[in-house]
Structure formats: C-alpha cells, structure tokens
Amino acid sequence: MSVSLKNILKNYFAAFLIAVFIYTSNFLNTDLFNFGEYNFVVWFVLSIFCFASGWFINRQVGWHHGGKVLFAIIVAITILSLITVTFFSEYFGTNQIITENLILFSLRNITLGAMGFFGMAVQEVLSGEREAVILREKLKIYEDNIIDSKKEAELTLKEAEIKAKEILTDAEAQAKNIILKKERIERELKEFIQAEKELIKKYKDL
C-alpha cells in the first residue's frame, strides 16, 4: 500500500503543482495583458513553473495520459476559479463588467495550462529525438553485426571449401597410391608365376 501511494505521489505531484500554480494566479493582478516589469516577471516565473510541471508530467505518466490529466486540471481549476471570483467578487475587484473579468480569469488559467502542454510537448519531442538517436545507434550496431556475420560466414565458407579441396586431394592421392600398389602387386604376382613356371619347366627337363 505504501509503495502504491509513493508511486501515485511521484507520478502526480507535478500535476498537483501545476494545479496550485494555475489557481494561485487568480490572486495576482487581474490585468493579464499589462506587460509592466513586475507583471512580466511574475507571469514569466509562473509560466516557467507550469512549463516545468508539464515537462515532469509527461516524463512520469506519458503524453496521452498526462494530456488527459492536464486537460482535466485546466477545466477543473478554471471552473473553481470562476466560482471563487464570482462568490468573492469584492476581493477580486470584479463588481463591474463581471463577464469580461471572468473571461480574463479563464484566459489566464488557460494560458498557464497551455504552458504546461508546451512543456509536455517539448519533453515529448526531446524524448522522441533521444529515442531516435538510440535506435539509430542500435541500427548501426545491428548493421555492423550483420556485416561482421556475413564476413565470418564467408570466411567459414572459404575455410570449408579449402578443407573440402584438401580432403578431395588427399582422397585422390590415396586412391592413386592404392592403384599403384595394386598394379605393383599384380606385376610382382605375374613375375612370381612366370618364375614358378620356368622353375617347373627346368625341373621337368631334368
């Protein structure tokens, strides 16, 4: 049980962080398009945090499941933000032109959520490139192994051909020796028979 809880915290901690970052942005300056020095720094830091959270979400749970989780977070936090802003309109200073303010709050949440998606996309692309490099290296190794295997097979075939020729040559030499021995034995046998005949003839003449 503890291991399962540990895995859940490890896989979804970044998702929890990005939810906190998006919801916390509601308590900043409501003017999303005011690019003053202070606002720019704050939004830049929040965007970096959301980007990093999206990066870790994709790294831990993958693009498909992580995308569903992040989309659900954006929708849920946006709805929660609208409810919060509506009920505490005096605190957020949204008493006038409430619809436009709600749209602005929704836009800022969606913008930070999009930074999370951007972080996921960058991590996915880099991970894909890394896997492609690894696959290319593996393919190169396999090709080198195939070439080496072909060379070894060719060498083995040549060695087998050389041994076969040596065996054939030895067999032919042994066959010639046997034939020569046979011819010598036949010749000696004929000479022995001829000598015996002559000896018998001389014995009869006596």
Nearest to 54 by CA among 9, 4, 120, 106: 120
Supply the pTM of this predicted model: 0.59
Mean pLDDT by 10 residues, the chain (206 residues): 64 84 76 54 83 87 85 90 79 62 81 89 88 87 83 86 88 87 84 77 68
Q: What DSSP letter does each residue of 24-45 carry, written as one string?
A: HGGGS-S-TT---HHHHHHHHH
What is the rounded radius of gyration, in angstroms, for the C-alpha atoms of the chain?
A: 46
- What's the confidence (pLDDT) of residue 33? 45
How many of the other CB atoms lie within 10 Å of CB of 96?
Answer: 8
Nearest-angstrom CA–CA distance, 23 and 105: 10
Q: Let me know: does 88 contact 30? Beta carbons within 8 Å.
A: no
Continuous segment of H or E residues that includes residue 143: helix 98-205
Alpha-carbon distance 169 to 179, whole Å?
15
DSSP-based three-state secondary structure for 76: helix
Please tell me whether residue 202 adopts helix, strand or coil conformation: helix
Instruction: Report the pLDDT value the prediction gives residue 1, as an integer from 0 to 100.
Output: 42
C-beta of residue 17 within 8 angstroms of C-beta of residue 49: yes
In 3D, which of 76, 98, 78 has the Cα closest to residue 88? 98
Q: How open is the CA angle 1-14-56, to the nearest 5 degrees? A: 110
User: For residue 96, what pLDDT is reported?
Assistant: 56
At residue 97, the pLDDT reads: 55
pLDDT of residue 38: 59
